[in-house]
């Protein structure tokens, strides 16, 4: 009989992200490259999640009303561009504020899951 051994959140061979912005950019890059099942990443860094785990966290924030559709659109747009919004690049302060808010909420979830240090 085969036994199921669930994967725990902590694996000493994985490297958590420094912050939610880094995790989000990695997630968007994986999605754009079609490597949604990849736990690996750049060079020999093994991440403690799949890109889908981060997307699920964002969807959970959206569904619960913690972030708005506008937050999600900004996350998506700038995540796919791989650069955060910045007033010096012509982005409005409101967009920058929504980006920061969304990442702060995402950070809380990702820390609980051990995805962010």
49 Cβ neighbours under 8 A, 6+ residues apart: 23, 39, 113, 115
Q: How far apart are CA 111 and CA 59, in angstroms?
A: 16
Q: Tell me, what's the pLDDT at 36?
A: 47
The residues of the chain scoring below 50 in pLDDT are: 2-9, 36-38, 41
Q: Tell me, what's the pLDDT at 8?
A: 44
Q: Tell me, what's the pLDDT at 27?
A: 95
Task: Give per-residue pLDDT as tens, 92-102.
Answer: 999 999 999 99
Q: Tell me, what's the pLDDT at 65?
A: 98
Contact (CB, 8 A) for 75 and 104: no
CA angle 27, 105, 99 (to 5 degrees): 70
Contact (CB, 8 A) for 20 and 107: yes
Q: How far apart are CA 112 and CA 86, in angstroms?
A: 28
Contact (CB, 8 A) for 42 and 108: no
Q: How far apart are CA 15 and CA 107, in angstroms?
A: 16
Q: Tell me, what's the pLDDT at 33?
A: 86
Sign of CA dihedral 66, 68, 69, 75: negative
Q: Tell me, what's the pLDDT at 34?
A: 80
Predicted TM-score (pTM) above 0.85: no
């Amino acid at each position: 009989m085969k036994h199921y051994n669930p994967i725990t959140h902590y694996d000493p061979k994985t490297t958590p992200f420094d912050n939610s912005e880094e995790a989000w950019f990695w997630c968007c890059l994986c999605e754009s490259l079609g490597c949604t099942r990849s736990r690996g990443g750049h060079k020999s860094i093994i991440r403690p999640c799949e890109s889908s785990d981060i997307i699920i966290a964002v969807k959970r924030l959206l569904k619960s009303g913690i972030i708005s559709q506008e937050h999600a659109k900004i996350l998506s747009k700038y995540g796919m561009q791989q650069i955060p919004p910045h007033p010096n690049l012509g982005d409005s302060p409101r967009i920058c504020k929504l980006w920061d808010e969304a990442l702060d909420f995402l950070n809380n979830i990702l820390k609980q899951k051990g995805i962010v240090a």
